[in-house]
């Protein structure tokens, strides 16, 4: 009985030391969030600015483009990451949209900038009318 208790105490102390060691040494220094100034210009197929386009960065709406098709903002991000950018504008039955991945530089300073021009392409939405299928009565 005494040998069992000694063996159990030894096992628990080894497990505890292993868990403590793993938790202590697995800490990887994470770079803090840093500001990144982003400037986006949205244009259509003809090269004209697209005003009022919704800007989403990492699925978060950040605003809309101005009358020159431009949006400017500061995003807090980690150096070296990739940001998912989505731009959409509805025009009647048509929708202009673009998706792009923005690569953040590995080294950011307080004055880091990322400028890009994105061409929006047309996606025509389907008509809500129901199409007849062969064998469909009515």
Tell me the per-residue pLDDT of 35-82, one tens digit each, with 9 for 90 and over.
899 999 999 989 999 999 999 999 999 999 999 999 999 999 988 899
Q: Which two tokens stand for residue 130?
A: 């129901």
Residue reference for tokens 């890009």: 116
Rg (the chain; Cα; Å): 27
Closest CA to 108 of 86, 81, 85, 83: 81
Each domain of the chain, given as residue ranges in start order, spans 34-124
Mean pLDDT of the chain: 81
Q: Domain 34-124, what fold? A: Immunoglobulin-like (2.60.40)
User: Sorting pLDDT into bands at 50, 70 and 90, what band is 21?
Assistant: low
Q: What are phi and psi of 94, to 5 degrees?
A: -95, 155
pLDDT of res. 66: 96
Contacts of 112 (CB under 8 A, 6+ apart): 34, 35, 36, 37, 105
Mean pLDDT of 13-31: 69
- How large a percentage of the chain has pLDDT more than 70? 78
Beta partners for residue 43, in sequence order: 49, 119
H or E segment at 23?
A: helix 2-25
Mean pLDDT of 5-23: 74
Of 108 and 62, more confident: 62
Most confident among 80-84, 119-123, 125-129 (mean pLDDT)? 80-84
Please determine, for residue 27, whether its predicted confidence score (pLDDT) is greater than 70. Answer: no
pLDDT of res. 133: 39
């Amino acid at each position: 009985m005494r040998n069992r208790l000694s063996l159990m105490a030894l096992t628990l102390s080894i497990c505890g030391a292993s868990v403590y060691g793993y938790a202590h040494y697995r800490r990887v220094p994470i770079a803090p969030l840093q500001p990144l100034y982003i400037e986006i210009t949205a244009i259509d197929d003809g090269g004209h600015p697209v005003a009022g386009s919704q800007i989403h960065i990492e699925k978060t709406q950040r605003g809309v483009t101005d009358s020159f098709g431009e949006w400017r903002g500061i995003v807090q991000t980690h150096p070296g990451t990739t940001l998912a950018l989505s731009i959409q504008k509805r025009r009647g039955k048509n929708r202009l949209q673009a998706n792009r991945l923005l690569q953040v530089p590995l080294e950011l300073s307080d004055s880091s900038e990322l400028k890009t021009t994105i061409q929006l392409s047309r996606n025509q939405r389907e008509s809500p009318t129901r199409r007849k299928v062969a064998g469909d009565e009515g």
